[in-house]
Structures are given as C-alpha cells and as structure tokens.
Amino acid sequence: MNLVEYFARHHGEILRATLEHIWLVGAAMLLAIAVGVPLGIVVARRPFLSKFILGGANIAETIPSLALFGFLLPVPWLGARAERLAVAALLLYALLPIIRNTAAGIAGVNKSVREAARGMGMTDSQILWRVELPLSFSTMIAGIRVATVLTIGVATIAAAIGAGGLGEFIFRGLAMVNDQLILAGAIPAALLAIAADLLLGILEKRLRPVRA
C-alpha cells in the first residue's frame, strides 16, 4: 500500500488526529496571547522587570519538551488530564516570542507620536490602547506567528503523554518502523504549520503601519 492509499483508507483517523492537534495548539495559543501580551506590555513599560520575565520565558523555551511534560506532571489539576498538561506545556513554549515582540512593538513606537497623544490630553492607558497597541499589532502578530509554528511542531510530542494529536501516528510509526504511519502524522503537521505561517504572514502585512 502506497502513501496515497494509506491516507485514503485512514482519512477518518487522520482527520480526528488533525482536529485534536488544532484544538491543542489553538487552546495553548489563546492562553499564551492572554498571558504573553500583558507581560510584554509590562516589559516595555517596566524594563527593570524584563530580565525576570524574559529570563523565565527563556528557561521554559530551553527545557526539552518531554522533560517539561515530566516537570508539570506532579502539578495539581494539570497532571490529572493529559490535555491540560499538554496545553500548559505548549503555553510555556509559546510565551517567549509573544512577550518579546509585544515589548519590541511598543518600545518601537515613535516618541513624537506618544508626545502628540499626551499633548491631546490622553492618559497613559489611553495612549496604550489607542496609540501604542494599534501601532504594535504587526510586530505582535509576527511573534504570534513564530509561536504558532513552533507550537504546532512541539504539539506532536504531546502524544507521548496521551494527549492525542498527530504525534500519535509519528510515535506509532517509530515503534513499528513504519514510514507511512510517520508520514501520516508528519505531513498534516507540516501542512498546518505552513498554513498558519502563510495566514498570519498575510495578517501581519495588512496590520503593518503605513509609513509616510
């Protein structure tokens, strides 16, 4: 049986695993954005905290994925379900590019723009929401783009703890020395990463501020 025939026969299983993969990545990315963007704002506004926040995110990024799953396993509530554990680990992996790009985007806003906004009577929070964040969206999306592609790849390891996803095919294929099984997981994962990169790349370009 060639690869095309294998995909045709097992399309239901592959689709289920793909949807599980998308769910894991989507949940992790939503949480990472909810946590990473505020932390990026803190880093931009309070540079003295950057070494602690970025340092912590850097440490999480350098821990091997299987080891990180192992570290989180004893954590109450998280370790009770493989899906929660996987989402938490993916969240930690996604934080660094989101925090870094959010901080860089806000720090890169022209000082004269801030001064003009302040001269119009805007408060710090109004400047943040009406000036800094809109001008930083393109840079923030670039960080989210990197984090999403990274998370799609790392999510394949989640199958090792029973969280599902396309990694199930890869691990089964490795155990059985079966190239078709490995490719049944690797090809959809690669296509997901490419699609996410292209779509977020388009969004990044559309949100890029027009320079006079």
Pull the structure tokens for residue 3: 């690869």
* pLDDT at residue 101 tops 90: yes
Pull the structure tokens for residue 16: 């289920």
CA dist list (Å): 128 to 13, 48, 91, 152, 181: 46, 19, 25, 31, 49
Measured CA to CA, the distance from residue 2 to residue 206 in angstroms comes to 41
Measured CA to CA, the distance from residue 10 to residue 8 in angstroms comes to 6
Identify which of 96, 201, 103 has the alpha carbon closest to the alpha carbon of residue 151: 96
- Which pLDDT band holds residue 79 (cuts at 50, 70, 90)? low
Q: What is the pTM of this model?
A: 0.89
What is the predicted pLDDT for the residue at 153?
92
Can you list the domains of the chain with their CATH numbers? Answer: 3-207 (1.10.3720.10)
